[in-house]
Chains A and B, each alone.
Chain A
Amino acid sequence: MVTPGVLVLLLTLLRAHSFTARVLTELRNYDYTKYHPLPEIMTWMQQMETENPEILSTTVYGRSYENRDIQFLKIGLNPHEDKKAIWMDCGIHAREWISPAFCQYFVKEILRTYKTDTKVEHMLKNLDLYVTPVLNLDGYTYTWKDNTTRLWRKNRSPGTGCNCTGTDLNRNFDAFWGSTGSSSDCCEEIYHGTEAKSEAETRAVVDFVGPRSKDFLCFLSIHSYSQMILVPYAHPNIKAPNYDELMEVANDAAKAIKAVHGMDYIVGSSVDLLYPAGGTSIGWARFMGIPYSFTFELRDKGEHGFVLPEDQIQPTCEEAYEGVRAILTYVHDKTFYSAAASLTATLWTTLLASWLTNATLL
């Protein structure tokens, strides 16, 4: 007769096996048309790394207030020193669930297409993509807690000398911090924190990207909602030196988006389209010299707002992918084809000059 202890052991093993089998199956069939809680996203990241080691790696680059690992997925071919890079962060605002959904979709698409799409493959040889699927891990987790927490925006660090929780991470960067369009009241949604970079999540980005800013060509931050592509700055008194170029690139991206499902995304600076805002991540990125910095505001325009239905995840991601791709293509081609042309010209000049010099010496 089987003792209760052995029975329990057998049952545990069986359950563990079927659980593991179910988990593996679920991961293999990861549903990019559903919203996923943080633990599933973390597992997905590990899975992506395990299945695609030749092109993808994960790195922890910081810790959230509640001590969660802030991670990016680095995607690229031909690793080498001083390789140029693209930054994309999702989920800086907790309630904007379509944003992390897009980062996951984006990674999936890149991995699905790089072996057959020569343009993607070529870009990955010249550029590394750094994708953070969820930057505001604590806030995102909080929005999954129950029905009353779904619309949380900020992170979850406690107020200092103030009875409310959370800082708006997109008002916490060191670019016109606290100047306008943000609040010093820690109970408000656009509270900018006790000082610039007061938040662990902000510091994680700044400490990683900052020292490498000369290698970053492009800094993208994904948000919802409003259907917009925003260019820096969000401050009324200053325009980026390449503002006209940024507008042109953003307009082309908006055209690419519209071509997918007919959705209109309007283009401009935050000051013109929405409101002024000091301390934003793309403001900081542009200020650091990263030339192509954009914020995407994904669907919709207020009908559902932050609670975008899951049946819109796929079409939203499809159009946003084309928008991002348009920007990446422009940035890549401008950097590498122009650089190639300049190099060729220099070579010819040198060759001809040396021939002429030699000829005169004869």
Chain B
Amino acid sequence: MSRPACALWVSALLFLSGDGLASPFQPGTEPPAPEPPESNLIEDLEVPPQFDGAMPRGELVPHHYPAQRAAKVVEHYLNTRYGSPYRRVHLHQVHKAGLEDLGQAGNKYHLEISLKEVVSNTDLGPCSAEVLFSGEQDQRAPQVQCSCEGLKKLDTKAEEEALFQKLNSSDSLLSGSNIPDSYGHVAPEMKPMWKLGAAAASFVMLNESNEGTLYNMAQVANFTQLETENDQLRFKYHILLHEMITQEILHWKLLATWSPAGGVSVSQTELQPKCHHCETASAIEIPEATPSPTSAS
């Protein structure tokens, strides 16, 4: 082969390989122009779960929101059943999730999750649960079934009895506010009241949950102990819930009763209207409704 032809081939080769060595990173490339937005309605948030083509029909990605929201409902449910001043269950992880479309009956989620008890910092291990969100016609709270071996090993009898005796026999009625405070701090003597408030809040959060919500308790605004009745301690609570999808802070007032034997129950739950114009808590004090012996909602 002649020299010029050789040079030409080598140059071509080098040029091509040199281009291959160049950085694939292209700063400033524009993404394709977006499609015009479909709708401005906030209802768009309730997008049906996306089925990844690679996953078997009905199976959900565990860390995506549909499974996560359903798992959060399990957390609320367990706290209504097992929550106490010394017991609070938190969702740790979703391992597996599946969705069963029951048509008019609603959507049923099958979940494999792991939970943690945060007061004693105990790993509760794996649990399986089912969450049924009823169909649109039905405005019921989600229904939960859960089997969790780890819950049985929790033993908080001693602390609960001690607290019960202390609050029952005290001359003064306990009260508190802003728990945790702005710095996230909770005074040691207020920690059980914080956890009790969270357990009470779980009743509301469970009741209010659907596939388009994710609730956490943000803060106990205040609580006041009332006179003991029927061997149950009673407390008025004003709690603040944080709803993740709307990012709203919701004010709820409720009456919580507790005893170590009876667990937590809740009645007279009342959503407070959002106050746009007030700057201080005192401005939003709504006159207390006369307590009536209604059962927990």
Contact = CB atoms under 8 A, between A and B. Distances in A.
Nearest to A228: B63
A193 interface: no
Interface stretch (A70-78, A114-122, A301-309): A301-309
A214 B281 contact: no
A342 B22 contact: yes
B276 A272 contact: no
B274 interface: yes
A301 B72 CA distance: 11
A168 B246 CA distance: 11
Contact of A183 (B7, B42, B244): B42
A301 B34 contact: no
Contacts of B218: 151, 305-307
A14 interface: no
Contacts of B184: 304, 307-310, 312
A151 B249 contact: yes
A147 B178 contact: yes
A302 B14 contact: no
Nearest to A186: B276
Interface string A226-270: 100000000111101100000000000000000000001010100
Contact of A307 (B24, B38, B65, B182): B182
A23 interface: no
Contact of A276 (B22, B47, B219): B47
Contacts of B118: 303
Interface stretch (B25-33, B130-138, B289-297): B25-33
Interface in B189-222: 216-219
A353 B11 contact: yes
A190 B247 contact: yes
B185 A181 contact: no
Nearest to B182: A150
A24 B92 CA distance: 44
A9 B72 CA distance: 63
Interface of A: 34-35, 143-144, 146-151, 153, 163-165, 168, 176, 178-184, 187-190, 213-214, 217, 226, 235-238, 240-241, 264, 266, 268, 271-276, 278, 286-287, 289, 291, 301-310, 312, 334-335, 338-339, 341-342, 344-346, 348-349, 352-353, 356-357, 359-360
Q: Across chains A and B, which 3 residue pairs bring their CB atoms closest together, nearest first?
A: A338-B23, A309-B184, A179-B37
Interface in B96-134: 118
Contacts of A291: 25, 27, 29
Contacts of A182: 42
Is chain B's interface secondary structure helix, strand, loop, or mixed overall? loop
Given A180-B40, A181-B42, A357-B7, 12 more contacts: A149-B279, A181-B44, A190-B246, A237-B38, A241-B29, A303-B118, A307-B219, A310-B185, A335-B27, A338-B25, A349-B18, A360-B7
26 contacts: A150-B182, A151-B249, A163-B276, A179-B37, A179-B40, A180-B44, A180-B45, A189-B246, A226-B244, A237-B34, A237-B38, A272-B61, A273-B63, A275-B244, A291-B25, A305-B217, A305-B218, A309-B185, A312-B184, A338-B22, A345-B17, A345-B18, A353-B11, A353-B14, A359-B3, A360-B4
